[in-house]
């Protein structure tokens, strides 16, 4: 008998509905040890609760998250709400004795992240944080390549996540552009976890950072005919050093809301003396591998559908955002069931706290235009 993971969602907006879509096509996973059922959803908006009525397994739709947390039909809660609510809601989930897939950035700031990590450890519940891009075939190839030792001495690491839509000054404000909801770390809270998940997992933890943070548009239309303050950091470039085999190696992390033409570009590039590898969702099928032979060559490889958890999808087809989100949920469910084996796993509470330590150091660096030691 397969175990069934019964999930409740708090926050049925952009990401809450994306999770529902992943659960709805769970059957594409081949020989997967866990079944999933979406049983309860909480959101404040009536129209969203209405949308979830199309899902037959849902037994409870509510505007009160406490009611969802009382449900005996919920084992795991996915919380996808604005950052100012993370700490309170994550702690409530743990106090209710449920497991948690938290959305990034895992609390609005370092203090909140530490409190959540502590509560998670005390509760003994299974807690992970969301970051889905590493589950695409390209990033998986990068991880395996680095671990194979083919790089030689590592020269540099460059990882990031770029958006472009904020280039438009007429784009209306939303909570992600307001510090009181998004946090002082601004774009780092929004996009930072995506940039650090793979580097942290490969053991590349910054020892020093110099940050360049930019606020580019300081106000935006409020959607009601007026203007509202847009007070978050828009773009962040973190110039860090990591220790690899006793050597200091530069690592550049980029998180940008204003990066011309980049709609949702996750990328990583790692260069070494013997080899190198780069991947970007800009060209989702393409993996580049560098080899130093007699001549120096960048090889371009067309990727297929080699996801960590096999699915019924043909091996030559190309994956996209909903696929990596499903793969991330599969990793969560498999690890929770003790069936992850040697596959890549979701962000841990320790990694989430580490990201906050880096972002807090970046704020300090920006404030004093100085290098900050971690
Ligand atoms: N992993 C990713 O790729 C990714 C992408 C986008 C956003 N996110 C993260 O997901 C989280 C949510 O972002 P989003 O883009 O889905 O936001 P969103 O604004 O689309 O959705 C948030 C939802 O939370 C609901 N909500 C607010 N307060 C609530 C409460 N007290 N109880 C229940 N529901 C409540 C809102 O009504 C809204 O529907 C954030 O932490 C964000 O950083 C992750």
Region 305-329: mean pLDDT is: 97
pLDDT at residue 43, as a whole number: 98
Q: What band does 25 get if pLDDT is binned at 50, 70 and 90?
A: very high
Nearest to 313 by CA among 300, 323, 301, 303: 323
For 90, 108, 125, 272, the CA distances from 84, given in Å and listed in that order, are 11, 6, 22, 40
Helix, strand or coil, per DSSP, at residue 307 = coil
CA of 12, closest atom in ligand 1: 39
308 CA from centroid of ligand 1 (Å) = 27
Question: Is the pLDDT assigned to residue 201 strictly greater than 90?
Answer: yes
Tell me the pLDDT tens digit for each residue of 241-299: 999 999 999 999 999 999 999 999 999 999 999 999 999 999 999 999 999 999 999 99
Measured over the CA atoms of residue 327, residue 333, residue 336 and residue 337, the dihedral's sign is negative
pTM comes to 0.98
Which long-range contacts does 59-63 make (Cβ < 8 Å, 24+ apart)?
60/8
* Average pLDDT over the chain, rounded to an integer: 98
Residue 177 DSSP one-character state: G
Name which residue sits closest to atom 19 of ligand 1, judged by CA: 13
Look at residue 119 in the predicted model and tell me its pLDDT. 98
pLDDT band, residue 101 (cuts 50/70/90): very high
Ligand 1, atom 2: closest residue by C-alpha? 131
Q: Which of 17, 21, 82 has the most ligand 1 atoms within 8 A of CB, as the residue to mutate?
A: 82
Q: Which amino acid residue places its CA nearest to atom 38 of ligand 1?
A: 13
For residue 346, pLDDT beyond 90:
yes
Testing ligand 1's pocket by substitution, the residue of 8, 10, 15 carrying the most ligand atoms inside 8 A of its CB is 15
* Residue 155 confidence (pLDDT): 98
pLDDT of residue 272: 98
Spell out where the chain has E strands: 3-10, 34-42, 60-62, 76-79, 99-102, 127-129, 154-162, 206-214, 219-221, 227-229, 235-244, 247-256, 265-272, 275-280, 286-292, 296-302, 372-373
Mean pLDDT of 305-318: 97
Mean pLDDT of 185-189: 98
Closest among 216, 220, 217, 214 to 171, alpha carbons compared: 220
CA 64 to ligand 1: nearest atom: 32
CA separation, residue 17 to residues 26, 28, 56, 72, 173 (Å): 14, 18, 14, 22, 21
* 196-216: average pLDDT: 98
Tell me the per-residue pLDDT of 39-92, one tens digit each, with 9 for 90 and over. 999 999 999 999 999 999 999 999 999 999 999 999 999 999 999 999 999 999
User: Closest ligand 1 atom to the C-alpha of 174?
Assistant: 19
Residue 82 Cα to ligand 1 midpoint, Å, equals: 5
pLDDT band at 1 (very low <50, low <70, confident <90, very high): confident
- To the nearest 10°, report the CA torsion of 285, 290, 293, 299: 20
Q: Which of 10, 13, 93, 257 to probe ligand 1 with, by most ligand atoms within 8 A of CB? A: 13
Q: For 103-151, how does the pLDDT look when each residue is reduced to its tens digit (9 = 90+)? A: 999 999 999 999 999 999 999 999 999 999 999 999 999 999 999 999 9
- Measured from CB, residues less than 6 Å from any atom of ligand 1 are 10-15, 42-45, 48, 65, 80-83, 85, 103-104, 130, 132, 190
pLDDT at 169: 97
pLDDT at position 178, please? 97
Q: How far apart are CA 74 and CA 40, in angstroms?
A: 7
**Residue nearest atom 39 in ligand 1 by C-alpha distance:** 13
* Cα 244 to ligand 1 centre (Å): 36
Q: How far is the CA of 353 from the centre of ligand 1 (A)?
A: 20
Other CB atoms within 10 A of residue 173 CB:
18
């Amino acid at each position: 008998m397969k175990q069934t993971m019964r999930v409740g969602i708090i926050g049925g907006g952009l990401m809450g509905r994306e999770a529902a879509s992943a659960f709805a096509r769970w059957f594409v996973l081949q020989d997967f040890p866990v079944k999933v059922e979406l049983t309860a959803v909480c959101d404040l908006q009536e129209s969203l609760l209405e949308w979830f009525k199309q899902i037959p397994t849902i037994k409870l739709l509510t505007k009160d998250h406490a009611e969802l947390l009382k449900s005996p039909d919920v084992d795991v809660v996915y919380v996808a709400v604005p950052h100012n609510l993370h700490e309170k809601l994550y702690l409530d989930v743990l106090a209710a004795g449920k497991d948690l897939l938290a959305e990034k950035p895992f609390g609005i700031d370092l203090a909140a992240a530490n409190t959540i990590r502590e509560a998670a450890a005390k509760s003994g519940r299974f807690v992970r944080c969301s970051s889905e891009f590493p589950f695409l075939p390209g990033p998986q190839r990068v991880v395996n390549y680095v671990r194979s030792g083919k790089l030689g001495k590592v020269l540099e690491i460059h990882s990031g996540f770029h958006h472009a839509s904020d280039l438009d000054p007429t784009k209306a404000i939303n909570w992600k552009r307001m510090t009181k909801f998004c946090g002082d770390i601004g774009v780092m809270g929004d996009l930072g976890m995506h940039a650090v998940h793979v580097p942290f997992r490969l053991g590349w933890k910054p020892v020093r950072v110099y940050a360049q943070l930019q606020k580019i548009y300081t106000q935006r239309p409020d959607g009601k005919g007026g203007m509202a303050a847009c007070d978050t950091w828009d773009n962040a470039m973190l110039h860090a050093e990591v220790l690899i085999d006793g050597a200091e190696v530069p690592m550049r992390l980029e998180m940008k809301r204003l990066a011309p033409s980049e709609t949702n570009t996750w990328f990583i590039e790692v260069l070494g003396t013997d080899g190198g590898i780069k991947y970007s969702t800009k060209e989702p099928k393409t993996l580049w591998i560098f080899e130093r032979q007699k001549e120096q060559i960048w090889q371009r490889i067309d990727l297929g559908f080699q996801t960590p958890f096999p699915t019924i999808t043909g091996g030559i087809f190309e994956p996209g955002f909903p696929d990596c989100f499903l793969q991330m949920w599969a990793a969560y469910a498999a690890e929770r069931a003790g069936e992850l084996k040697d596959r890549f796993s979701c962000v841990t509470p320790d990694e989430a706290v580490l990201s906050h330590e880096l972002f807090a150091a970046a704020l300090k660096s920006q404030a004093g235009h100085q290098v900050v030691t971690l």
